[in-house]
Structure 1
Amino acid sequence: MRWGTYFAVLSAVLSVGLALGVSMPLVSLRLEQQGYGGFAIGVMAAMPALGVLLGASLSSRLAGWLGVPAAMRVCLWGGAVSIGLLAVLHSYPLWLGLRLLIGMALTVVFILGESWINQLVVEQWRGRLVALYGSSYALSQLAGPLLLGVLGTDDDFGFWAATGLLLIAPLVLIGRGGAPRTEACSVSLMDLVGFCRRLPVIAWAIALFAAFEAMILTLLPVYCLQQGFTAEVALFMVSTVVVGDAVLQLPIGALADRVSRRLLFTACALSLLVSSLAIPFLLHTPLVWPLWVLFGASAGGLFTLSLVLIGERYRDDALVRANAHVAQLWGIGCLLGPLLAGAGSQWVSGHALLWLMAAGAAGLVWLTQRRGAFEPAPA
């Protein structure tokens, strides 16, 4: 086990989470200050999701041409340049293009970083070390807005701080080995269809968690306000969900190294189903606080366990391709989840966000009960 390389790759990926956490809220705040409306800000926020889909299709090809370490360094530096240009170029159309480039470049970093970590870790530590990766990344994103609060939003310090992080991060990857070997091939949406057919449980779980994360950050505060809570309590509820997601991944990962990962996966799906159904009925009682924690932890556990299950069955080029499909599913979930929940909240029920999560969790529980659910189907 190459511990130095593991922590170097982890540090590089964490720099991305911190840089995004600092720079992305600053973009929205700057647009609001310039008088742009909610739709324009929403379109800007959607550009990285489109970048995810494009970056996922290019990751394997870029890694095949340059090698995984060099490809990660190039994309980190590309992300640094793109964020730096946000501070220099004050044009909405140019910002759209830069946000798209940021999404593409940093998606490649995520795909190759997750693949490198999963290739490195030994099987008996896989659950804990993959969980440490997921938990650390979530906490780095949480720390981003806190750092922005210290730097302030009236100038461009946030953009320059993020740029500096991404300029320095590639240096820790120099001379590191143990990366997956991959071929220079693109990953298409048809390839994604094949992945979903082979591993429908994992594919469903990844898309569900992506929708969960996008909805928690965008729609949950609004839901809590509509249910009569103050803005302060609403934000505290969102923070409780996020902390449950981030902190409890470590014990879930530790359990994954000691008990059946398939049973633990099913338990997380059941917990997400139960908590999603219970929250609307217990929303105005003290019991809702542990439910928020369970809600976040069970959703995050599904993603962590999906990465663990992918890592235990794929190596090298197949591993990079599988993580590219994870990114594709992530982009799809981030796009569709808020759209479905927003439409449902307006036209069906004020509790549509939680009903949608419950429906997704119920579908996942059903998939886990099928024979051979966690074994790849023939290609």
Structure 2
Amino acid sequence: MSLHEAKASDFAPDWPAIIAVVLGVTAFSVAQGLTYPLISLSLESRGVSAGMIGLNAMGFAAGLGVATLILGRLTRLASADKLIIASLIGCSICLATLASTSELVIWFIARFALGFFVSMVFMLGEAWLNTACPDRLRGRVSGLYGAGMCGGFAAGPLAIPLLGTSGGLGFALLAIYIALVAFLTGLLTMGARTRPEPSSTRDLFAFFGKAPMLILMVLMFGFADIAAISAMPVYFVKTGHSQAFAALSVTALAIPTAVAQPFIGVLLDRLPRRRVAISAAAIAASGYLLVPLLSSDIALLLTFAFIGAASFALYTAALTMLGEEYRGSMLVAGSAAFSLAYAAGSAAGSGATGALMNFINPIAGPIGVGVVLVVFTLAFALNGRR
């Protein structure tokens, strides 16, 4: 019986692989957290239209989609560790390109390639994390992974006031950082004992039929997470709060979310994982429904912190349950399926919440998200009983 087929609790954790994956996802998150606003602000300062800036962001999303669809084929051509290192180097080259030129066409190409490479790091890293981790530690390791991801997203935008939006300094420093991460990842993989097994596009689509509830968990995470990040600051402004408070709400969401994930991981290892996930969904739903009833700024920020921690806990739980229930090629397929589910959920979350606030009333935004999460929580609980 191979290592991939053995019960996950039968082997010692592959710490070099785990550390490499956490380093990689942190780099991925910093890159995305910094480049999303930095590219938009840089283009805006050069007089590029809002529509063209939106199209540029779509180039990143297109890269994510292409990576998801050809991931299985690439894993049959090269091992996951080599693909991760190559993708990190690719990210560094893309960022260096953004730093060295202002040609809009080249920025479109670099943005597409950046989306492709960071998606490869993300999907292969998740599969490798579950391959390298014994089940007795799976929740805690997933929690550390989630903390690295959240911390990276939170840290990226904080660098913009220090680096500015012109001159390419931010892109250049980030390119150097990613290159160093690629070098460290290469050193760590020399001591790694595990590798994810190759997958295929067929496995990807098969996973949707095998694990609909895991897919729905990630879909709901994307729905609630992006609604909080993109739509709720608009809600706060529309209900009389300052723009400074709206910006502070995102910080109040991101930092507690990162801090909470290791503790969520402990709960996932000590309690029934499905119950932890159901509880997280219920807390997130309650938070959204509570927001319109609160008038205190402190109470709103605290509630927002709980919403962020509980929403991301759905993803941490889904990642943990993926490794618990699946082996081999289905780990890569599951990670790719999670990427598609998150993309669909985030698109629905920002679009639906914005529409509710525009066409009904601002308070319809958080209430609508809360109701969707309540329905999901009930469906999840009933599915577990069956």
Q: TM-score, normalised by structure 1?
A: 0.91
Runs (5+) with no aligned partner, structure 2: 1-12
Query: 2:129 maps to what in 1?
Result: 117
User: What aligned pairs does 1:1-80 form with structure 2 within 5 A after superposition?
Assistant: 1-80=13-92
1:230 corresponds to which residue?
242
CA contact (8 A) 2:207 2:330 kept: no
The answer to whether the 8 Å contact 1:119/1:311 transfers is yes
CA apart distance, 1:182: 2.6
CA distance in 1, matches of 2:384, 2:195: 28
2:192 is aligned to 177
CA distance in 1, matches of 2:287, 2:136: 31
Q: Residue in 2 aligned with 1:251?
A: 263
Task: Quote the Cα distance in structure 1 between the aligned partners of 2:53 and 2:366.
Answer: 25
Whole-Å Cα distance in 2 between the matches of residues 197 and 66 of structure 1? Answer: 27
Secondary structure, in 3 states, of the residue corresponding to 1:369? helix
Task: Look up the equivalent residue of 1:166 and give its one-letter code.
Answer: I
Matches within 5 A, 1:157-196: 157-174=169-186, 175-183=190-198, 185-186=200-201, 191-192=204-205, 194-196=206-208
Amino acid of the structure 2 residue aligned with 1:238: V
Contact 2:207–2:333 under 8 Å retained in 1: no
Cα distance in 2 for partners of 1:61, 1:46 equals 24
The answer to whether residue 218 in structure 2 is matched with residue 206 in structure 1 is yes
CA deviation vs aligned residue, 1:186-237 (integer Å, no higher than 9, x gap): 368xx44x43443232211211212333333322222211111112211112
| Code of the aligned partner of 1:275 | G
Q: Which of 272, 288, 294 is equivalent to 1:282?
A: 294
- Does the CA contact (< 8 Å) of 1:19 and 1:161 recur in 2? no
Name the residue aligned to 1:221. Answer: 233
Identify the residue that residue 377 of structure 1 maps to in structure 2: none
Deviation of the 1:111 alpha carbon: 0.5
What is the CA deviation profile of residues 96-155 of structure 1, one whole-angstrom value per residue up to 9, with x for unaligned ones? 232122111110110111111111112111111101111111112211222332222232
2:285·2:369 contact (CA, 8 Å) conserved in 1?
Answer: yes
Q: Using the alignment, how far apart are the partners of 1:107 and 1:365 within structure 2?
A: 29
**CA-based RMSD:** 2.1
Residue identity in the other structure for 2:326: Y
- Partners in 2 of 1:365 and 1:184 — Cα distance? 31
Do structure 1's residue 142 and structure 2's residue 161 form an aligned pair? no
TM-score of the pair, normalised by structure 2? 0.90
1:356 and 2:371 are equivalent in the alignment: no
C-alpha separation between the residues in 2 aligned to 1:332 and 1:40?
Answer: 22
Sequence identity percentage? 24
**In structure 1, distance between residues paired with 2:52 and 2:227:** 19
Partner in structure 2 of residue 333 of structure 1: 345
Amino acid at match of 1:240: A
Q: Tell me whether 1:133 sits opposite 2:148 in the alignment.
A: no
| Partner residue in 2 for 1:308 | 320
Q: Equivalent residue for 2:93?
A: 81
Q: Which amino acid aligns with 1:131?
A: G
Per the alignment, do residues 58 and 373 of structure 1 end up closer, same or farther by CA in structure 2, a change over 3 Å counting? farther
Q: Measure the CA separation in 1 of the matches of 2:113 and 2:228.
A: 25
Gaps in structure 1 of 5+ consecutive residues:
375-379
Query: What is the DSSP-based 3-state SS (H/G/I as helix, E as strand, rest coil) of the residue aligned with 2:270?
Result: coil
- Identify the match of residue 318 of structure 1 among 330, 347, 357: 330
Amino acid at match of 2:200: C
Q: Distance in 1 between matches of 2:230 and 2:47?
A: 20
Deviation of 1:283 after TM superposition, in Å, equals 4.0
Query: Which amino acid letter does the alignment assign opposite residue 182 of structure 1?
Result: E
For residues 249 and 202 of structure 2, what CA distance do their matches in structure 1 show?
38
Number of residue-to-residue matches in the alignment:
371
Instruction: For residues 50-81 of structure 1, give each alpha carbon's deviation from its aligned partner in whole angstroms, at most 9, with x where no partner exists.
Output: 32222111222212211001111111111221
Tell me: CA distance 1:334–1:54, structure 2 relative to 1, closer, same or farther (3 Å). Answer: farther
**Cα deviation, residue 371, structure 1:** 4.0
- Give the Cα–Cα distance (whole angstroms) in 2 for the partners of residues 195 and 317 of structure 1: 10
